[in-house]
Every structure is written in C-alpha cells, then in structure tokens.
Chains A and B, each alone.
Chain A
C-alpha cells in the first residue's frame, strides 16, 4: 500500500465544510437504535466545542427509506425535503447537517436535480407553498454529521482522554471504517476523499490514534439494502453481503469497526449474531464478535464519556474487550441499568456468539 497514492486522491476530493452554524436533522433509524449517538453529537458540538447546532422538533423523516424501497415517488420526497429546508430557512440557517447517510444522499440528489432542472425546483416550491404556505431556499452547504466531526477531529483529539491504541502493546488499534453507500457512491465529489478511498472516517481514526485497515471488500454494502431486509425471506441475501465483508476483513484481525450510516452499524453488529447462530462462525477474538461503533460513539469514548451513557449496551457484540484494550473504565453492573439505576433486565445470551 502506497499512502502517497491515497493522499493524491484525497487531495482531489476535498469538500467545503462550514465550521459552525448548522441546522441539524435526525435520522429515523438512529434515533431508534442508537439514540445516544445523536445526543452525544449535539453534546460534543455544543458543550465541548461550542458550536451553534440548531434543531427543530418539527422536522420529519426525509422519506428516503420510502424512496429507496420504491414506495415514495421522487416528487413527494422532494416536497418533504423542501419542507425541511423551509424549517431551516425559517430558523435563519444556511448550513444543513444530516445525521442519516440516506438522507444525505437524498438531499444531495435533490439539490443536484434542482441545479440541473430549475423548473423542477420551481414546481416543488409551488407544491410546498400550496400545501403548507412555506417558502424555502436550498442550503448553501450540505454536510453529513460525520463531515462535521471530521472537520473538528483534531479539536477532539486535542481534548481526548483516550486514544485508539492498544494499551498493552502500544500499537494503534486496527480499525475497519465502513462508509454508508449513499454517502459518496452516488456523488463522489460530495464525500470527503471521494467514493473509492473515502477519508471522512479514516481522518477521524488517524487523528485519534488508530490505524485503518484496507481490506478487499471495503466498498461493499453492509447488506441492509432496504428491500432486501424488509422482507423476511430476502434477509438471507442481506446477511450474505455482511458475511462477505466479514470474511474479507477477517484475516486483518480488526479490533473494531467505525461507521457513519444508520443501517451499517446495526446490520454489521446484529448479523454477526445471526451468522454465528446459523453457521457457527464468529469473527472476533476468542469467540467474540468485532464491535461496531458509530463515529459519535467513538468520539465520545475518546473524549472519556461513560460507555453506558453512550448507549454501548444496546450493541449485540460486546464492547468490553475493546474497552479493556483501550483502557477505558466501565462499571459492569451499570451495563443494563437504566435511568436512576433502574434494572432494564438482561438480554438472553446467544448460544454461539460470546458476549
């Protein structure tokens, strides 16, 4: 591997990420599955790094899931998105930050469409106005939340309490970065580092002391694939894609996986359990899985937040071996304790995957 070659490509895919003043929209999936990630994004940005991130409780889904499952037409999706932009315009913001990768992809697609076909934009404006009486301007800058963390990665590194380093060996942790398909595959220029060798997560990992693993199937989809997952009979296809990725990364013995997409951490994490239970195969050390994190979770760990506050107990694959490796303290008794130490009850242990 020649890093100069990658640097040359990264240099060609730099995008402008505003430093401050964002209108932030949440992700349908993430706020259900990893609610702490979005909470900690806001917490870090506002409380640690003192940025202005505005959130409006009236925003809706972007309808991307429906769009990619072929149930929402593009025209409808555009109008829904236009309403979000109207909320932003009303709040006086020009920079739009999306928590969800699919939203980010859809916003990119819509903004590019409007640029190429101004009459479509006009029609959307008319439709929105007719329906809601709102007017809007498309954002000046569109960023994915991971773009913003990438932008401030060094500030986080400067405040870090832990680094992505094996405390026993001093070696950097081997990290697999997995980028959501809708981040840059549709518009390589909209992603940091492009689509082939995306840099957005790599930049974070490098800044926080880890080492990125480049494995053959790094480009491959996590397996979510919307339609493939939603129908039970098709889930074998979804899981097969995940397995392909794990088979490919296995020889590199990664310590962890970092993701920037709502579906990816969920499927990379849960399918490890399904693969273990159906085929008896596990990919981590000693029968464990490979822990999968959102970038906010990793940022939170690096900054020293409590793992259980970051929501790591909702992961299927246990994070404790990794926390031990980094040297992050945790209280095992608090793992399944809810608010006010209320016992949330323990999940049943899988028969194959070690937890």
Chain B
C-alpha cells in the first residue's frame, strides 16, 4: 500500500439498498404509532432536552427508518422522557415509548442481538 498523503473519502449519503432495516422493523413492531409521523417537528420544537442538546426526535426516528444508525443509541440517551412531545404530537404518536423503543432496538442492534423479526 502506498501512502498518498490522503485516504479516499467514504460516501456519506444514505445507501438505502445496503442500509439495515432491522431496527426500523423492530421499532415499528413494538411501537406501531411510529408509522404515523409526518415529520412536522412539533416534538423537537417542544423538547425539554432539545433546549440543551441537539436532540431531535423527528430526525432520529427517520434515521431509524433509513438505516442511519450511527450514534443513535447515544442520541436517544439525551431524552428526559418528560412527555411534552407526546402532548403536542398532532398524529398521536406515542413518542415517549418511541424513544425508549429506539433505544432498546439500538442497544440490541449494537450488541448484535437484534433478531430478524
């Protein structure tokens, strides 16, 4: 191997064909109201944790479905579970449990224990 003074960049785009759908499947199976999201961002706007951190449930749950799983376990650990998001969600998504489910799924996924459903 030759050292050229640089390495070839990895792609940062979502490659949906290659992305893992396991976490998404797990989350939908355990919290079906995840399907109801329309990405309006109410949850993120009202978020207590979002005041202090870049915690963004709207994006996190989409990342789950696109298989963009890097650091999602740590991301969900920013949530205080205060439940404000659940009160403001116009679609009735069970957001609090959604966070917990994503965290659970990510823990299992990172341990390689997420079984194919």
Contacts and interface: CB of A to CB of B under 8 A. Distances in A.
B1 A240 contact: no
B51 interface: no
A182 interface: no
B11 A235 contact: no
Contact of A240 (B2, B5, B11): B11
A244 interface: yes
Classify chain B's interface size.
Answer: 10 to 19
Nearest to B2: A277
A236 interface: yes
B10 A278 contact: no
B8 A279 contact: yes
A243 interface: yes
A240 B6 contact: no
A204 interface: no
B7 A278 contact: yes
B4 interface: yes
B4 A235 contact: yes
Interface residues of A: mostly helix, strand, loop or mixed? helix
Nearest to A241: B9
B9 A278 contact: no
B7 to A, nearest CB: 5
A240 B4 contact: no
Contacts of B11: 240, 244
B10 A274 contact: no
Interface string A271-283: 0001101111000
A233 interface: yes
Contact of B4 (A234, A244, A274, A280): A274
A235 B26 CA distance: 40
A187 interface: no
A239 interface: yes
Interface string A256-287: 00000000000000000011011110000000
A140 to B, nearest CB: 44
A239 B8 contact: yes
Contact of B10 (A233, A234, A235, A240): A240
B75 to A, nearest CB: 26
By CB atoms of chain A within 10 A, which of B2, B4, B5, B8 has the most? B8
Nearest to B3: A278
A10 B1 CA distance: 45
Contacts of A279: 8
A239 B11 CA distance: 11
Contacts of A239: 6, 8-9
Contacts of B10: 240
Contacts of B7: 236, 278
Contacts of B9: 236-237, 239-240
Contact of B8 (A233, A243, A351): A243
Contacts of B4: 235, 274, 277-278
Contacts of A233: 5-6
B13 to A, nearest CB: 10
B5 A232 contact: yes
Interface in B1-46: 1-2, 4-11
Given A240-B10, A240-B11, A244-B11, A278 B1 contact: yes
Interface string B64-104: 00000000000000000000000000000000000000000
Contacts of A277: 1-2, 4
Interface in A147-161: none
Nearest to A240: B9
A239 B83 CA distance: 47
A244 B10 CA distance: 10
A352 to B, nearest CB: 8
7 contacts: A235-B6, A236-B6, A237-B9, A239-B6, A274-B8, A275-B8, A280-B1
The 4 closest A-B pairs by CB, nearest first: A240-B9, A236-B6, A277-B2, A239-B8
Interface of A: 232-237, 239-240, 243-244, 274-275, 277-280, 351
Given A234-B6, A239-B6, A278-B2, 7 more contacts: A232-B6, A235-B4, A239-B8, A240-B9, A277-B4, A278-B7, A351-B2
